[in-house]
Amino acid sequence: GALLRQRGVGTVSLKEGGGGKWWPKEWRERLSAGRAVDVFQTEPSCSAIVLEAGPAAAGLTLTCAQHVVFVDVLSSVLLESQARARVERIGQRAQTTAWHLIGANSVDEPLRRAADAGVALDADAVRSVLAPP
């Protein structure tokens, strides 16, 4: 979230709480009450919410979002589906897109291929995916 804010993108996070001096004053009270989702959904200048895929994001409805950006390869197809489902809900009127940020020649490339093939990325699977040919 901090890097996005440095680049001028209005951003909130479920992890950061409401103490960030970088947030506009009108957001702080709502964020300190744990209402990052409310700020994301109602403040036009807040264009990103940073979430972890998993329990913290379970049950959220983010129909004002149009993009899901994954910065890590998730360990299961189910977890990725749940993360995408945050924006693909009843009431979503816009087309949605999921993005995967994968560094060229990085460990993420073979992990992403395995995830796309439906391999659950437990420790044994990761070792076999990363093993030299």
19-49 confidence digits (pLDDT tens): 455 556 666 655 654 577 788 888 888 887 7
Q: Which two three-digit tokens encode residue 51?
A: 């979430």
Q: What is the pLDDT of residues 89-108, one digit of tens each?
A: 878 888 888 888 888 888 88
Q: How far is CA 8 from CA 16, 41, 57, 64, 125, in A?
A: 18, 18, 24, 20, 39
Q: Supply the pTM of this predicted model.
A: 0.64
